[in-house]
Amino acid sequence: MQSGPREIVTPYRPIPLVVPEGMKHNEFFNSTENLNDLVSNNGLLKNDENLLLYRKALGHSTEFDCSIIYNTSKTILNPLGRPVRRTQVSENVKHVWNRMNQIIIDYMLEQYPDPDEALILAGEASLDATWPLTSPGVPSIRMLHNHFVVFPKKELRNAKLAFTDNPNLTDGGQHSLFQSYMREVYRDFFDKALKMTILKPARDTDSRIELTGYPQGLPSWEIQGGTNALKNVHFWKEYDEILKGFIDFYRTFFSQVSTRNAPILPDVYFPEQVESVLLFNNDFMKTAKKVRDICIVDAKYANAIRWQPAFKQIIYRNDAGKLIVTISQNSLGNAITELLGVVVNRIPDEVAYSRYEPELIRRLLEVRRRLIEADLGEGIATAYWPK
């Protein structure tokens, strides 16, 4: 079978939302009113840490698909001031969130033990709130949220190949920028900055899903110990170290793009490695100059840059059944699934969705039961399930 990205069709029930006149859809989606609807129509569980588990109304998969969002819509009314990555979340919230992650991932692996049967991923797509709400590519809900998705591989095998230039498989050139000009320094920085015992660097051949050929060119790490390692708090600390390293690299690079020979940023996580590995690397500095020179003469190019860190970080299962972590500067595609080469074409079709809905809800309610049992929240009643 030919390897390549797949494009699947996923039906959903049309969302009964009325956007007020004069507002754009993605402006309304960031409002407290919309988040109230998300809770009342799709909410599964909530807790005192403002973490909300909900069914994805515009889903990626009809097999298993849910999210946890850090619902700060009532405590931070300014959408541009809400946390958009884990490094902006308090330790007590993060602790609860990590336990919720572990239980949901464990459930997915338990229900789908065969890597030939299902593609499993969990992680977050996040970006700093630096673009106007109306700009293309800005998430519809500007708050930190995780995704948990299962794709049956039979469905992927039967799906048509996606065009590699599909806009949902591109990132505005930033991925190719990193890989074409700074691949070696990018990986060298991770190697020198990160001191880890549970995560170990994985080869491209081990991280790639044969069916889709993705991820492509991304640094990846194998989780030694598999699912049991997710029960170890130190794994989640190392998972955050990857994010911190990525943020340092991204912010340092674009600080040099913005200002020639800019001083080291005052709040980097790994100042010694930033100074010795990045700011003293000729490829790194030459590439910053290349991008800066284009920005000066090309307004459209400059406007397309995400000056603050935009990233997608996931845990997924490879073809050999090992758990892999990867992170990408992918920033324009509209779904986290693109890291694994899956393009989701969502279509409103209530009849088709209703065929999958009973089993989907059954799985989601079982996950909710396990979370409640672990004292991680209380159930929410909707028109589709009881409290």
What are the chain's domains? 1-165+334-387 (3.30.428), 171-331 (no CATH)
Question: What are the pLDDT digits (tens) for 266-284?
Answer: 999 999 999 999 999 999 9
pLDDT at 171 over 70: no
Question: What are the pLDDT digits (tens) for 195-224?
Answer: 999 999 999 899 999 999 999 888 999 999
If one compares 41 and 176, the residue with the highest pLDDT of the two is: 41
The residue with tokens 């700009």 is 135
pLDDT at 135 over 70: no
Mean pLDDT of the region 24-53: 85
Round the average pLDDT of the chain to a whole number and report it: 89
Mean pLDDT of the region 129-156: 75
pLDDT at 286 over 80: yes
H and E: helices and strands count for the chain = 12, 13
pLDDT at 131 over 90: no
- 44-53, 168-177, 207-216, 324-333: least confidently modelled range: 168-177
Instruction: Return the pLDDT at 334.
Output: 57
Mean pLDDT of the region 213-237: 94
**Residues paired with residue 125 on neighbouring β-strands, in sequence order:** 312
pLDDT at 172 over 60: no
Instruction: Return the pLDDT at 128.
Output: 61
Sheet arrangement for strand 6-12: 160-161, 6-12, 342-348
With cut-offs at 50, 70 and 90, classify the pLDDT of residue 140.
low
Category of 161 on φ-ψ map: left (φ > 0), alpha (ψ -120 to 50) or beta: beta
* pTM: predicted TM-score of the whole model, two decimal places: 0.92
3-state helix, strand, coil in the chain (%, to 5): 40, 20, 40
Question: What are the pLDDT digits (tens) for 353-370?
Answer: 999 999 999 999 999 999
